[in-house]
Structures are given as C-alpha cells and as structure tokens.
Amino acid sequence: MKFIQHFIGYILKTISVIIAIGLLLSYISVYISPAKFWLPAFFGLFFMPLLVLNFLLGIAWALLRRKIAWVNLIALLPAILYLFLFIQVGHNMPEPSGSATKLMSYNVHLFSLWDNNRNHSLPNFSKYIKEENPDILCLQEMATTDTLTVNQAFSQYPYRYYCCSKRKNGLLFGNVTFSKYPIVNAGEFLFSETSNRCVYTDIVMRGDTIRVYNNHLQSISLNLERTALRIRKEELRNEELRQVTIKLRTAFMKRAQQVDIISAHITSSPYPAIVCGDFNDTPVSYTYRKMKGKLNDCFTKAGRGMPSTYRGFWPAFRIDYILCAPSFQTVSYQVPKVNYSDHYPVIVQLSQQNQ
C-alpha cells in the first residue's frame, strides 16, 4: 500500500515539475523567434492554462505541507509581468485631448457563408456595423463573390481598399479596410504558400495622415471538434497528434516570419501607426511582442476585465488586437460579445494628441 502511495506521490510531483517548467518556457517564448526554435511558442500559447494549473498545484501542495509547493509557487512569480496583458480592473479615463475616432477590427469568418445560422450573413454583419458606426473598419477573412455586394452592404464608407485573392470556388478572400476619411495611399504584404496577409492604408484624418495596418497572420488551421474526435479513437490518435504538432510548428514559424516583415515596416512608417487584426497568437508570444514594439496596446490603456476575442476556447484567449502609436490616446476599448463570427469584434475610440 505504501509503495502505491509513494508511486502516486512521485507521479504527481513529476507532473508538478513539468507544469512549472512549461510555465517558465512560456515566459521566454516571447523572446525566441519560432522561426529559429518553435517549441517555446507552444507553451506560450497555453500560458493561461499553465498558469491556472501551477496555481492550483501550488495551493494544493502548500495545504498538504509539501516542499514541492515552492516549485509551482516560484514558477508563478514572473507571471506578474504578464497578467496585465490578460486582465484589467478598469481605468479612470481622462477627457480626450482631441476629436475621437472610432475604429473596429473584426475577423468576419467569410461572413459565415456556409453557416446555417441565419444570424451569420452579410446583411446581419452590415446591420450590426451600421449600429456601431466606426469611422474606420478593418475586416479580416472577408469572402464574397464580388466586391460590389460588400460595397453596397457598407455604403456608408466612401473609401475602401481590398487585398484579396480568388479561390478555386470563385470566392474573393482577404482583408478590406473601409474608411470615412480619404485613403491616399495603400500597400500590402502577400506571403507565400498561405492566404494570410497584411494591408496598410494611409488615411488623411482631420488634416493629419495616419497609417492603419490590417493584419490576418498565419492560422493554425485546426478543427478542434474533429481533432478531439479523432484523438478519442485509439487507431487514429498517434497520426492525429502528429498532424497537430506539424500544424502548430508550421503556424508558429510562418507567423514569426510574417511579423518580422510587418514590424520592420511599422518601425519605418512616416506616419503614426494603428495596427490591428487577427494575430492568431496570445499576448505571451513572440508575435505580440514583436508587433507591439513601441506601440500601445489599447486593451492595457482602456480595457476592463478579461476579454476573449475568439469564441469556443478557454477564457482570456485574446488573439485580436488594436495597437496604436503613443501619439494616440485610447479613450475606450470594447469587445462586444456578438455571435456573428467565430471571433468577436474589437472596438476602440482614439484621439490624436498634440494636434
């Protein structure tokens, strides 16, 4: 009996050490490019679950008065540096120093063309966005048979820039930026062997030019329900786990290459930058750190609570962002829980300081 107790205790302690090491690896993942070494990025993706597990194990071991508790509790200490990226208790926002501009970033998931839910359709997206009435609208994963249909749905925007490719089924797929203010210049980054992309637009707003980056970075392309079902079947488990590992590694590496290109362009921008979109990565990642650079994360400036921007995953799975140059003041930050897509929109109000 004692042997079994010792064996179980040994297994549990080993698991505690592994989970503590996993959390430590998540901390350093933000500094290591997955293009060079991808494994730490995996632990960064699971930062929140690892954090919760370490906390629960640390408390449990402490209540049992086991020294192993220190392993998990010490591993938690650096988390203080990252928690504010996930949780905000609220801000007492000062009055905006200038006229506020409302910006929305939204991964619309192809306007859910093949979804049987009637809430998921272009007219419903259009109606909702008209109610929110952003001045600048950045859409990712836009899909349509022709841009005229989308232009009519968002006719309140006289200026627009599409970055799309045609799929085999004839659909146009990509990013589009709409604006109530003139777009005077635009460009795009098209990455090889992927449908992910970045488009930037120079917008003249109240006499000043700003540059808006609309991103959709490399997706993992996992069907979670299908993966879970296949893993349950013993004869499919090993192959499915191998495929998941390959997809994760590929996504981490491609995303690192993409963000290196985009972040260099942002750094050289002659205008104050607003960077938004679906980064497909958490705040504890090389992608986020590199893209953010010297920009401000609007969530940390005006957010509240623990928002998730992606539906159907664990809480605080924030992968959609709006970042802005320090010359902007973040007046408000929202992630409305509307079920039109597999993502939620991110909406901010910004005012330009020292105008």
261-306: pLDDT as tens digits: 999 999 999 999 999 999 999 999 999 999 999 999 999 999 999 9
What is the model's pLDDT at position 146?
86
Mean of the pLDDT values across residues 54-72?
Answer: 91
Per-residue pLDDT tens digits for 98-133: 688 999 999 999 886 655 554 458 888 999 999 999
What is the model's pLDDT at position 174?
93
What is the model's pLDDT at position 355?
47
Tokens of 270: 């002659």
Non-local CB neighbours of 245 within 8 Å, separated by 6+ positions: none
Between 15 and 242, the higher pLDDT residue:
15
Whole-structure pTM value: 0.90
What's phi and psi for 81, nearest 5 deg?
Answer: -75, -15
Non-local CB neighbours of 11 within 8 Å, separated by 6+ positions: none
Distance of alpha carbon 256 from alpha carbon 264, whole angstroms: 12
What is the model's pLDDT at position 219?
87
Provide the β-strand partners of residue 350. 101, 330
Between 113 and 211, the higher pLDDT residue:
211
Non-local CB neighbours of 233 within 8 Å, separated by 6+ positions: none
What is the model's pLDDT at position 93?
64
pLDDT at 204 over 80: yes
CA distances from 48 to 53, 139, 153, 339 (A): 9, 27, 38, 24
Q: Which residue has the tokens 């010490």?
A: 74
Distance of alpha carbon 327 from alpha carbon 272, whole angstroms: 7
Distance of alpha carbon 270 from alpha carbon 291, whole angstroms: 17
pLDDT at 60 over 60: yes
CA neighbor of 303 nearest in space, from 85, 49, 105, 132: 85
Asked if 19 contacts 57 with a C-beta cutoff of 8 angstroms, the reply is: yes
Asked if 173 contacts 194 with a C-beta cutoff of 8 angstroms, the reply is: no
Q: Is 174 helix (H, G, I), strand (E, B) or coil?
A: strand
Distance of alpha carbon 175 from alpha carbon 128, whole angstroms: 19
Count how many Cα atoms sit within 13 Å of the Cα of residue 120 in the half-sphere of its side chain. Answer: 19
Is beta strand 296-297 parallel, antiparallel or unpaired with respect to 197-205?
A: unpaired
Per the rule left: phi > 0, alpha: psi between -120 and 50, beta: everything else, 219 is beta
